[in-house]
Amino acid sequence: MIGAEGQPVAAEPAASASASSAAMSVVLALSLCHFLNDTMQSMLSAIYPMLKENYALTFGQIGLLTFTFQFTASLLQPLIGAYTDKRPLGYSLPVGMSFTFVGLLLLAFSGHYGLLLFAAGMVGIGSAVFHPESSRIARLASGGRHGTAQSIFQLGGNFGTASGPLLAAFIVVPNGQGSVAWFCLAALTGMVILTWVSRWYGNYRRAAASRPAVSKMLLHTRGRVVFTLGVLALLVFTKNIYMASFSSYYTFYVIERFNVSVQDAQLLLFLFLGAAAVGTIAGGPIGDRIGTKQVIWVSILGVLPFTLMLPYADLFWTGVLTVIIGIVLSSAFPAIVVFAQEMLPGRVGLVAGMFFGFAFGMGGIAAAVLGQIADARGIEYVYWICSFLPFLGLLTVLLPRNTR
């Protein structure tokens, strides 16, 4: 079709639709790799009961394993994110996945506790490389729907985290620690997919080289931005301590409190983590529609009645409450990340590294501290303490009304 000045007018929408389709394929590919990445990472916490028995570990030593993995990830992620904001490294993604590959091999064949700690550190490095750059590429491919793209990206990670305990229950527990090596195939698959994503990213950067640079002008004063990021960090702190109590100790809690089997405990953990995945995919699109601050309000403070009831519930209601808690609480993280990225425009990698890294770090520190508390006061006491954490959701009132 030719326009009034002899120019084709139908090709542009077709080309735009094709570009949009390609970009959405990238978001979906990153979500799939996030699924593979977090499935492999969740192998560590999923086999804690087996490791505890095989190596006669205390809860404190279990917490140290989580601390090693998550502290390694949290220490490196902001540094990698800040570096790649200035010098993007698309092909770092398959390289990062290779660290996870090595960590899984070590986890499968470690013969003593020291090697388990080293394996946990390698998996943490893989996570540190993967999250900042993949979050940046997902935002670039979002077509302006940043919350939706962030939710799709994080959905893969949530399903991966949820699938780890389920796969451990049916593969690793019956076949032993060495069967963890089979999950190295997932790492190889992720490396292939991420090589394709890195190629798309390289083409995108070349095509965008002639465009004006993204403005880094702050919409609020520097002091207001720093204060807001601090409040968001405290909200992530609240969410991730509670999530850490589930990812590291929920199986022990239901085994001790309700005398269920290890496999049944893993299934209950899968139920919680699956609910968290549902909440993640809901949080982003809802935030795009009604605003990220509103989602944060409902997610953090709205979960409080259910966390307060959990320590007193029977087995049936424990399952029901954990599903509700998982859905409501997990919807906050996509909104928090998007809120922070809009407070610091043009620094996507730094923000992703800070908040993914802070989430991992807080989870690791919390796991170590909660393990010591469990050794001293019992595992049920841990869930009683954690039930009060969502009160910190009141800090949401300190966030600015809008960020755009």
pLDDT, position 41: 80
Which regions in the chain score pLDDT beneath 50? 1-19
What tens digit of pLDDT does each residue of 61-74 get? Answer: 887 887 888 778 77
Number of Cα atoms under 13 Å in the Cβ half of residue 375: 12
| Residue found by looking up tokens 């949009």 in the block | 20
Q: Is the pTM of this model over 0.85?
A: no
Query: For residue 337, what are the domain limits?
Result: 23-398
| Residue found by looking up tokens 């326009």 in the block | 3
Rounded distance, CA 101 to CA 183, Å? 8
Specify the CATH number for the domain of residue 309. Answer: 1.20.1250.20
Is-contact 314 257, C-beta < 8 A? no
Domain-located, residue 403: no
Domain-located, residue 2: no
Provide the number of structural domains found in the chain: 1
Cα of 17 vs its chain's centroid, Å: 30
Rounded distance, CA 77 to CA 84, Å? 11
Is-contact 388 328, C-beta < 8 A? no
Residues whose CB falls within 8 Å of the CB of residue 219, separated by 6 or more in sequence, listed in order: 342, 343, 345, 403, 404
